[in-house]
């Protein structure tokens, strides 16, 4: 069974979330209530700032991952990276932290840092689904860096590990489209939608791709 921690997933796919294996501390719950229930932006920011100030006193992977997610949602990427880098130092064997850190490094356009981070996570992941997600992130980082063939290899490895993970096929389709391989991108998009018919981004991409196909290839 996949490690049950928060996982960012792909920005076009939404948050890929696993259940929590331990409850949050009362301290964390209080801050979450403030952030969730307050309509005052300053209070939400105060909650996140307070949690960040206390980050080095947090006691679990869940708290670090959720804090980084909150910072990301506020576009405070550098701070999210700082939190996750500290979490990795504390929990160096937890692959989900490498996945989340890799995504934030990609967002910050540190593609080589993201590639290195995803590789470290892959080396530590035992669960096939989680390793497939890390390979998908690695493929995305390679694609961002213009290393197209390496990106394709990473996506294919992810599909071997977990062929039923829709986001792998969707991200592979994007990379194929960028490389001008429209027919193959269409097939990957269709596979993604067969696995998850509610994947709106894949529906939109498929419509665009089919419009690009020449008649003989349709």
For 87, what's the count of Cα atoms within 13 Å in the CB-facing half-sphere? Answer: 28
Does pLDDT of 175 surpass 90? yes
Per-residue pLDDT reduced to its tens digit, 35-74: 566 555 555 565 565 555 554 455 578 778 888 888 888 8
Beta bridge partners of 17: 6
Does pLDDT of 187 surpass 90? yes
Q: Look at 62-66, 138-142, 158-162, 169-173 and tell me which has the smallest mean pLDDT.
A: 62-66
Instruction: Report the pLDDT averaged over residues 102-129.
Output: 96
CATH superfamily label, 164-218? Tetratricopeptide repeat domain (1.25.40.10)
Cα 73 from chain centre: 13
Token pair 């989340």 is found at 100
Alpha carbon distance 108, 151 (integer Å): 19
Contact 31, 120 (CB under 8 A): no
According to the CATH classification, is domain 6-154 in 1.10.10.10? no
Residue range(s) occupied by CATH 1.25.40.10 in the chain: 6-154, 164-218
Phi, psi of 74 (to 5 degrees): -95, 10
Supply the pLDDT for residue 69. 86
């Amino acid at each position: 069974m996949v490690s049950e921690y928060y996982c960012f997933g792909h920005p076009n796919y939404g948050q890929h979330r696993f259940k929590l294996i331990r409850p949050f501390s009362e301290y964390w719950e209080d801050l979450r209530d403030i952030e969730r229930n307050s309509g005052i932006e300053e209070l939400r920011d105060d909650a996140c700032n307070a949690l960040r100030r206390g980050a080095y006193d947090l006691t679990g992977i869940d708290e670090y991952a959720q804090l980084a997610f909150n910072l990301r949602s506020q576009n405070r990427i550098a701070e999210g990276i700082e939190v996750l880098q500290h979490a990795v130092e504390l929990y160096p064997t937890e692959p989900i932290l490498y996945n989340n850190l890799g995504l934030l490094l990609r967002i910050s356009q540190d593609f080589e840092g993201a590639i290195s981070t995803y590789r470290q996570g892959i080396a530590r992941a035992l669960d096939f689904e989680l390793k497939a997600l890390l390979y998908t992130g690695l493929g995305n980082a390679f694609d961002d860096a213009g290393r197209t063939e390496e990106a394709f290899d990473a996506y294919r490895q992810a599909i071997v590990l977990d062929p039923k993970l829709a986001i792998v096929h969707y991200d592979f389709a994007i990379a194929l489209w960028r490389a001008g391989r429209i027919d193959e991108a269409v097939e990957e998009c269709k596979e993604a939608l067969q696995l998850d018919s509610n994947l709106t981004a894949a529906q939109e991409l498929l419509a665009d791709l089919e419009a690009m196909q020449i008649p003989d290839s349709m």
